[in-house]
Amino acid sequence: MYFKIIDFSKFSSIKVGIPIEVLMIERDDTIPKDRVIIGHANNLLISDTPPPLMMLSKEFSFIELEDTILTVGCATPTGKLLSFAKKNDLAGFEFISKLPGSMGGMIAMNAGVKSYEIFNIVESIKIDGIWRAKDEIEHGYRFANLNGIATELRFRIERGFSSKLLQELISLRSNQPKIASAGSTFKNPKDDFAGRLIQEVGLKGFSRGAMQWSDIHANFLVNRGGGTFKEAKYLIDLAKEKVLDKFGIELELEIEIL
Ligand SMILES: Cc1cc2nc3c(=O)[nH]c(=O)nc-3n(C[C@H](O)[C@H](O)[C@H](O)COP(=O)(O)OP(=O)(O)OC[C@H]3O[C@@H](n4cnc5c(N)ncnc54)[C@H](O)[C@@H]3O)c2cc1C
């Protein structure tokens, strides 16, 4: 293991944060218990006082296909797996096309689009060195109770990559802002949409400093350049407060604040 300084104002997808020393985990290391694991910071908002952080090194970025079993390291970027699936005509991976991040972040968030989510296709997950069948892991809409560090995922593959489905899923994304964000900020409450609620309380397009509730999709907190954690947190708290006051609904964060 070794330390690396990561500047989260450049590394994170929302471009908020400061340079922080992150412990990089290599393949034969014993994973420490006193640090928070991060993936590629596409679902994170890093505060100015985060807990000690760690990340899987590039040694965990690999894809191995043997007969019908596909094994993928958890530092593998989703884009790399998508390209592999396309090239090798593997079915079921089309939906990861617009989900930026690592496979570790994906499994921890049970990331997905519409009815497609990673737990639908994964077979087993190596957590803290032990392979576990997916049914052993409590999971649901945008969460999975891994209770440890995922280092590898296993899939049983079927042939038939669908370029048509890929195009359909890509076009679903046309209503999303193109500038820096961490994706959807809040989970959709049951039978409703967080974006609709934020819009209804008048915050669509509302900004504080360089951070803004996007005027394209109100559940996206976007950074128009140089936004700070303080500004982001102010807007998050404001949206929660206004939605609670007006609708009695407690918005739950989808992004994670560290
Ligand atoms: C523009 C944009 C659009 C997005 N659209 C969607 C979408 O439609 N659907 C969706 O689901 N997500 C979406 N996201 C969010 C993001 O793509 C996913 O949550 C992604 O899986 C995060 O991966 P990451 O590697 O960046 O994880 P991080 O953001 O770094 O971490 C996310 C969580 O995973 C945990 N984690 C990371 N690695 C591991 C590991 N190895 N073991 C255990 N826990 C781990 C972290 O502790 C943290 O709790 C979007 C993000 C952006 C920027």
Q: How many residues does the chain have?
A: 258
pLDDT in tens, 82-104: 999 999 999 999 999 989 999 99
Say if ligand 1 is within 6 A of residue 90 CB. no
Q: Which CATH class is domain 2-59?
A: alpha beta
Calculate how far, in angstroms, residue 89's C-alpha sits from the geometric centre of ligand 1.
Answer: 25
pLDDT in tens, 11-59: 999 999 999 999 999 999 999 999 999 999 999 999 999 999 999 999 9
Q: Which atom of ligand 1 approaches the CA of 182 most closely?
A: 53
Mutate-to-test residue for ligand 1 from 6, 42, 93, highest number of ligand atoms within 8 A of CB: 42
Q: What is the pTM of this model?
A: 0.94
Calculate how far, in angstroms, residue 56's C-alpha sits from the geometric centre of ligand 1.
Answer: 14
Q: Are 128 and 106 in contact (CB under 8 A)?
A: no
- β-pairing verdict for 53-56 and 36-38: parallel
Name the pLDDT band for 252 (thresholds 50, 70, 90). Answer: very high
Say if ligand 1 is within 6 A of residue 12 CB. no
pLDDT in tens, 117-149: 999 999 999 999 999 999 999 999 889 999 999
Calculate how far, in angstroms, residue 145's C-alpha sits from the geometric centre of ligand 1.
Answer: 14
Q: Which atom of ligand 1 approaches the CA of 111 most closely?
A: 11
The CATH number of the structural domain formed by 62-168 is 3.30.465.10
Q: Which candidate, 62, 13, 71, 63, places its Cα nearest to that of 38? A: 13
Q: Which residue in the list 35, 132, 142, 224 is annotated as catalytic?
A: 142
Report the CATH fold assignment for 180-257.
3.90.78
Name the pLDDT band for 170 (thresholds 50, 70, 90). Answer: confident
- How many percent of the chain have pLDDT more than 70? 100
Structural element, H or E, at residue 24: strand 19-25
> What pLDDT is attached to residue 169?
86
Active site residue 142: yes
Whole-number average pLDDT of the chain: 96
Q: Are 133 and 119 in contact (CB under 8 A)?
A: no
What is the residue type of 31?
I
In the chain, what are the domain boundaries? 2-59, 62-168, 180-257
